[in-house]
Amino acid sequence: MFVYSLSPIDDWRGWQKPEDLFRAAIDTSPDANPAGKDEPLGAFEPHRWARAWTSARAAARKLQWKGDIRPGGGPYITILPAAEPGGLPLFVIAWKQQDNGATFVASPVRLSWLEVDGNEWLVPDHHAIYNDSVPGPTTDLDATFDSTVSAGAASGRT
């Protein structure tokens, strides 16, 4: 997962609360697919949120997130279109730190326009936000991320 530390964001239009998207759908039909794999909204199964949020918080701590969230500061999510026809849509997570208002953005894909002077970002060695191999809440996530934190475009991380 790519994680960015930005100056404060105060306008959350276009973002939504995770609980508004990650509702468990109950299908009682005989053809129900409990895994949701054939469902266009399968990306929004509650377990996917739990894994992504766990991974995002672990990475943000490497960017000096202190573990607090400002009231009204998220977490929020926004949707990106799937890269492949018929693929699952992606979601980006963002939240605002209580302490100094820094905003953190976590994405399964690189958001290169955020990689500018004044921002910091963490580039993963690998990312699989929608893959079952993503570390769970009890796994040490340090091995998941590149230990180098970039500080602006001058860092050479493009």
pLDDT tens, position by position, 21-52: 776 544 444 554 444 444 444 567 777 888 88
**Which residues is 151 bridged to in the sheet?**
120
Number of domains in the chain: 1
Kind and range of the H or E run holding 59: helix 46-61
d(CA 62, CA 141): 11
User: What domain range includes position 36?
Assistant: 2-155
pLDDT, tens only, 126-150: 443 333 333 333 333 333 333 334 4
Residue 61 CB-density burial (10 A; 0-12 exposed, 13-18 middle, 19+ buried): middle
102 contact partners, CB below 8 Å, separation of at least 6: 5, 6, 7, 8, 64, 65, 96
> What's the pTM?
0.69
d(CA 148, CA 146): 5
pLDDT, tens only, 67-102: 999 998 889 999 888 878 877 788 899 999 998 889
Q: Is residue 60 pLDDT above 90, yes or no?
A: yes
